[in-house]
Copies of this chain bind each other. A is one copy, B any other.
Amino acid sequence: MNNFTFHNPVRLLFGAGQIAALSREVPRGAKVLMTFGGGSIKVNGVYDQVRKALIDFEVIEFGGIEPNPTFETLMRAVEVVRKENVEFLLAVGGGSVLDGTKFISAAAKFEGDPWSLLTRRMPVKAAVPYGTVLTLPATGSEMNANAVVSRQVTQEKLAFGSPLLFPKFSIVDPETTYSLPPRQIANGVVDAFVHVAEQYLTTPSKAPLQDRFAESILRTLIEDGPKTLANPMDYEARSSVVWCATMALNGLIGCGVPQDWSTHMIGHELTAFHGLDHAQTLAIILPNLLWVQRETKHEKLLQYAGRVWDIKEGNDATRLEQAIIRTRGFFESMGNPTHLSDYAVGSEHFEEIVARLESRKMLPMGERKNLDAEKVREVLALAR
């Protein structure tokens, strides 16, 4: 096990009916900016629950944060925060609203061009405190201090983070996710699955408990993902999947182990160029990347085959291949195709994608820094 520091101060309130707790979680007397997305919260009752809980607060609303939130939209919220002296942000929505709100939180206190928080990874020195009400399980944003933001004009999608950007609290009520369309639930399951894979399917690192925790999340997603897709209002399966998504990316399973994240980096570019959902890109890239990296990830893939998929028969090569086939099959069974052609996307931007990763000095990538331009091309070619 490598040395590590683990620190996650988020206060997580989980379960049906927890939104009512907002009245005591938001700092008394604070002027609040409530951020949200396209308005689904007004249809599913979440908006009403939140406003009811905040009846005694001064609340300004900022809706319209889009999936893959854009710098352009978020900067308009930053203007509101500055002009209205907002003291607390409340993000109500999925990962995009939460990530966007993290950017608003940092940008509102940033001196200089906030875009440099992303492009030049300038450190966050101050942030407007915020809480979240999660309505879409997937990104784990409710319990971490990272965010991904896009810029329309340049078709870029970039990540940033800071220890100052943990939510003060997050409210996760699985019932608020009942009305989500199947596509978003499928995306959530795939996203959580791949978050775990990025931290687990790497090189052996003598961290047996982290391995088992990762395997625990994967097995639970495999078990309860299809159940919650089939029966959206089954609280048991839904709460299980929602909790898995939070635990997949709150820092715990990544303690003291190598991490990959190549699938995410390539996937971000597919979203930037083609507008595919984040999880759609992950389902397309991961199985192919595992295949291309099968030598590098050999030992962990075999452990994964045995412990997650119960594949015990056959020689190493067979079991390894079967594990990748099962992974692909799981994504497809959840309704997430694993080829670009399923979305009528061709190879027209492959070279641009490679060039972008190179220009950002991200290559070679992966836990062993051996996924170079040639291998990225190989992954993309297999993903067609």
Contacts and interface: CB of A to CB of B under 8 A. Distances in A.
A11 B7 contact: yes
12 contacts: A1-B14, A1-B243, A3-B14, A3-B18, A5-B11, A5-B13, A206-B236, A206-B240, A209-B244, A212-B219, A213-B213, A252-B252
Highest count of chain B CB atoms <10 Å: which of A206, A216, A247: A216
Give the size range of A's interface with the partner. 35 or more
Interface string A1-36: 111111111111111111000000000000000000
A1 B209 contact: no
Given A1-B15, A2-B15, 10 more contacts: A1-B239, A5-B12, A5-B14, A7-B10, A14-B255, A207-B243, A209-B243, A212-B215, A212-B219, A213-B216
A208 interface: yes
A220 interface: yes
Contacts of A364: none
Given A1-B240, A9-B9, A216-B216, A247 B15 contact: no
A208 B240 contact: yes
A301 interface: no
Interface string A294-323: 000000000000000000000000000000
Contacts of A9: 7-9
Contacts of A4: 14-15
Given A3-B18, A12-B7, A216 B209 contact: yes
A220 B216 contact: no
A240 B207 CA distance: 7
A228 to B, nearest CB: 12
A166 to B, nearest CB: 9
A224 interface: yes
Counting every copy of the chain, the complex holds 2
Nearest to A224: B208
A62 to B, nearest CB: 27
A212 B220 contact: yes
Contacts of A219: 212
A338 to B, nearest CB: 25
A217 to B, nearest CB: 7
A79 interface: no
Contacts of A3: 13-18
Contacts of A8: 8-9
The 5 closest A-B pairs by CB, nearest first: A3-B15, A212-B216, A9-B9, A7-B11, A6-B12
Interface string A190-222: 000000000000000011110011011101100
Nearest to A223: B208
A63 interface: no
A11 B243 CA distance: 22
Nearest to A242: B1
A62 B14 CA distance: 41
A256 B14 contact: yes
Contacts of A243: 1, 207, 209, 256
A224 to B, nearest CB: 7
Interface string A139-150: 000000000000
A195 to B, nearest CB: 14
Nearest to A21: B5
Highest count of chain B CB atoms <10 Å: which of A16, A209, A240, A243: A209
Highest count of chain B CB atoms <10 Å: which of A5, A8, A240: A5
Contacts of A252: 252
A14 B223 CA distance: 33
A258 to B, nearest CB: 15
A244 B208 CA distance: 10
